[in-house]
Amino acid sequence: MKPATTTRVVLAARPEGAPTAANFRIEQAPLPALRNGQVLLRNRWLSLDPYMRGRMNAGRSYVAPIEVGEVMDGGTVSEVVESLHPAWSPGDLVLAHAGWQTHAVVDGEGLRRKIDPDGPAPSLALGVYGMPGFTAYAGLREIGKPAHGETLVVAAASGPVGATVGQIAKLQGARVVGIAGGPDKVAHVRDDLGFDVALDHRADDFAEQLQAACPDGIDVYFENVGGKVLDAVLPLLNDFARVPVCGLVAHYNDTAPRPGPDRLSQLMSLILTRHLTVRGFIQRDFIALYPEFLREMGAWLRDGRIRWREDVVEGLENAPEAFIGMLEGRNFGKLVVKLTDD
């Protein structure tokens, strides 16, 4: 039966610093009638990703902020319930961007792709076989460009982007050092993902451990974190090193510049004298590579050459707390919310 309402999570107030439960509100809202070209979706899986924290702020970013009272942004795996678009039929499973809610009416042209029920598990379209995986693939291919025998270091190495970065770099013949937080994540990066070295950024002597792990310096640093990890990496960058800047999760809750000396001139000098390439990017910058990514990643997943881990939360009502925990590093693997029982 067609539902009349959706349960949704909206931005109740903009956070000051780290988000709290008070920044979210769960509510019921009526679903509009379908217009020509639209589809009604029942969301089955919801992706929670660090970039959503930036969209809670009012400031300028690479995409418009979420307004107070609007549905929280997020990718979904969704089932088509009703369609007035010729490309989609009821029962189709699709990759969408329907946000933190149980149902949504969306423009059929905006649906990203149909999900093959005989392919990888549908939730992987939100992780290694979707945006995070493509972020890793495109950032490495277009910016990092690791060569055989080079040393690549990746932060947040147990997360969906970092884990994929390291594994693809290994397939390309690079030596890979992964950085994670806590002994369980470090063991996963080393033993399950097969990185050459895995280090805990929480260790008191982390910088010394990183230097020992990179005796020939660092050729590619895939940046997901910032903070003290970046501080330890910078002195070890080789001439002509490449730094794809994907995220800075250590700073997403900052409300002012951190105390300490201004080191901008030092950083710029390092970029100049070591001929560094430092480029920030968003995965859609390289969207032309997406079909190739689907082919290559699909084959790697089928062959077991790329491994993945999910952290599954049950129920939309638990999404805010899971999101807050993710920003604190409490998740282990790609964080997704299961919205349905089937």
Q: How far apart are CA 231 and CA 260, in angstroms?
A: 13
CATH number of the domain that 173 lies in?
3.40.50.720
Number of domains forming the structure of the chain: 2
In a domain, 313, yes or no: yes
Last residue within a domain, chosen from 249, 269, 284:
284
Instruction: Judge if 224 and 113 occupy the same domain.
Output: no
Instruction: Judge if 171 and 101 occupy the same domain.
Output: no
Q: Which of 244, 316, 227 is nearest to 282 (CA)?
A: 244
Instruction: Judge if 246 and 101 occupy the same domain.
Output: no
Edge-to-edge order in the sheet of strand 151-154: 197-200, 175-180, 151-154, 218-222, 237-245, 277-280
Q: How far apart are CA 100 and CA 76, in angstroms?
A: 8
In a domain, 296, yes or no: no
Instruction: Judge if 142 and 218 occupy the same domain.
Output: yes
Is the CB of residue 78 less than 8 Å from the CB of residue 54? no
pLDDT at 264: 83
Instruction: Judge if 177 and 222 occupy the same domain.
Output: yes
In a domain, 303, yes or no: no
In a domain, 53, yes or no: yes
Instruction: Judge if 171 and 211 occupy the same domain.
Output: yes
Instruction: Judge if 228 and 263 occupy the same domain.
Output: yes
In a domain, 298, yes or no: no
Q: Which of 257, 299, 282 is nearest to 143 (CA)?
A: 282
pLDDT at 257: 72
Q: How far apart are CA 115 and CA 125, in angstroms?
A: 8
In a domain, 91, yes or no: yes
Q: Which residues of the chain have pLDDT under 50?
A: none
pLDDT at 118: 83
Per DSSP, what are the bridge partners of residue 243?
278
Q: Where are the alpha helices (DSSP H) in 159-226?
A: 160-171, 183-187, 206-213
Q: How far apart are CA 334 and CA 43, in angstroms?
A: 18
Instruction: Judge if 320 and 187 occupy the same domain.
Output: no
Instruction: Judge if 122 and 143 occupy the same domain.
Output: no
pLDDT at 259: 74
Query: What is the per-residue pLDDT across 184-239, written as a single tens digit (0 to 9) for each?
Result: 999 999 999 999 999 999 999 999 999 999 999 999 999 988 888 999 999 999 99
Query: What is the per-residue pLDDT across 125-146, written as a single tens digit (0 to 9) for each?
Result: 999 999 999 999 999 999 999 9
Q: How far apart are CA 322 and CA 125, in angstroms?
A: 19
Instruction: Judge if 160 and 191 occupy the same domain.
Output: yes
pLDDT at 58: 87
Instruction: Judge if 150 and 77 occupy the same domain.
Output: no
Last residue within a domain, chosen from 284, 299, 316:
284
In a domain, 171, yes or no: yes
pLDDT at 265: 83
Is the CB of residue 313 less than 8 Å from the CB of residue 277? no
pLDDT at 268: 92
Is the CB of residue 82 less than 8 Å from the CB of residue 44? no
**What angle do the packed helices 290-303 and 131-139 form, to 10 degrees?**
110
In a domain, 301, yes or no: no
CB atoms within 10 A of CB 213: 19
Range of the domain at 257: 131-284
For 5, the token pair is 């309402």
For 53, the token pair is 């924290």
Compute the residue count for the chain. 342
For 72, the token pair is 């929280």
CATH number of the domain that 116 lies in?
3.90.180.10
Instruction: Judge if 117 and 164 occupy the same domain.
Output: no
pLDDT at 327: 92
Q: How far apart are CA 323 and CA 253, in angstroms?
A: 13
Q: Which position has the token pair 């039929």?
A: 89
